Copies of this chain bind each other. A is one copy, B any other.
Amino acid sequence: MRNLNQHTITEAVIERFADTPSPRLKRILTHLVKHMHDFAREVELTEDEWMQGIEFLTRTGQKCDGNRQEFILLSDTLGLSMLTVAMNHDKPEGCTEATVFGPFHVDGAPHYENGADIANGAKGELCEVSGMVRGIDGEPIAGAVLDVWQADATGHYDVQYEALAQPQNRGVLVSGPDGRFNFRTVAAVAYPIPVDGPVGDMLRATARHPWRPAHLHFMVRAEGYETLVTHVFRRDDPYLDSDAVFGVRESLLGDWVPQAGGGYALEFDLVLNPKGSKRSVGSAHATRGLMRSESIS
């Protein structure tokens, strides 16, 4: 394997994966290398562009910390996140559709009782949210764990503030015996994704706007059902057709209904897919720890 040129190198690299113990990892890397090399050949990538790519990825990694995930943001803005979600959640008709996870979820959010105010001091107009968690046949799902998170009236998530004393606009609730949940929060508004990093550079360089339509995030887990990660979007938002991360589904539009006494009410049911009803492609593969050294015995 000497004197490899731009035409022979791809096969040589793939051949180097011949002894990979995991067939799944071997398959993934083979396709990855083939597409990466085809890309470079098709655009006749220059060394200067290659170095700009290296620097871009390096800056993206270095922008990440406990509260910021710039690679997820990059994946979101290049449509890879929504593509992956769409492939893995081809659910039966009637289930609530999934959308992107986004970079702002935090594990270990505070637990609240139904009826509580999860805004916890965040800026914004009051919004009373309620709904039912149910199965596809209409059965109420009691004890479902709902992780909820959203931005405030200025378009920022709590983790985007440097010195916030406590979590705001995020919390974990449990559906009641009738499957119902309700909580108070602030009315969601459209906001720009963070543009002070490499993803912002990409958006500016491509004359793309950074706006996401107003939405409320849900992650819903219940025994015997597939976990649902989704948003509810505000039906009247001007960015529904140009979401910076390609996540809008018609079925996920909800109505923030103005209330006589001020504020809004939003009612939205979350319909879960029973496990095994329709297998997602993802569940066919054992995929944990593909690239961690400790996974190799």
Q: Report the count of interface residues on A (CB-CB < 8 A).
A: 95
Assess whether A40 is in contact with B3, with CB atoms less than 8 Å apart: no
Q: Which of B54, B201, B287 contacts A75, CB < 8 Å?
A: B54
Neighbouring B residues of A250 by C-beta, 8 Å = 2-3
Query: When the two chains form the complex, which single residue of B44, B60, B79, B88 contacts A281, counting CB atoms closer than 8 Å?
Result: B44
Across the interface, do A206 and B16 meet the contact criterion of CB distance under 8 Å?
Answer: yes
The answer, yes or no, to whether A36 is at the interface (CB within 8 Å) is yes
| A41 and B201 contacting across the interface, CB-CB below 8 Å | no
Q: Which of A26-34, A112-120, A136-144 contacts B (4 or more CB under 8 A)?
A: A26-34
**Could you tell me if B50 and A61 are in contact, using CB atoms closer than 8 angstroms?**
no
- Whether a CB of chain B sits under 8 angstroms from the CB of A86 is yes
Q: Which residues of B contact A43 (CB under 8 A)?
A: 27-28, 31
- Check if A162 is an interface residue, CB within 8 A of chain B: no
Q: Given A9-B79, A35-B38, A40-B80: A205 and B295 within 8 A (CB)? A: yes
Q: In the complex, which residue of chain B has the Cβ closest to the Cβ of A65?
A: B62
* B-contact bits for A101-139, CB 8 A (1 contact / 0 none): 000000000000000000000000000000000000000
Q: Does A257 lie at the interface of the complex (its beta carbon under 8 Å from any beta carbon of B)?
A: no
Q: Does residue A291 face the partner (Cβ distance < 8 Å to B)?
A: yes
Closest 5 CB pairs of A and B: A61-B61, A46-B282, A13-B79, A35-B35, A19-B207
Residues on A facing B (Cβ under 8 Å): 1-6, 9-10, 12-13, 16-17, 19-22, 25-29, 31-33, 35-50, 52, 54, 56-62, 64, 69, 71-72, 75, 78-88, 198, 200-202, 204-208, 240-243, 246, 248-250, 281-282, 284-285, 287-293, 295-296
A-B contact pairs, 12 of them (CB 8 A): A4-B86, A16-B206, A22-B205, A32-B39, A35-B38, A40-B84, A44-B281, A48-B288, A49-B287, A54-B71, A58-B64, A61-B71
Q: A4-B79, A6-B83, A9-B82 are in contact. List 8 more A-B contacts (CB 8 A).
A: A9-B86, A19-B206, A25-B206, A46-B287, A47-B84, A57-B57, A57-B71, A207-B296
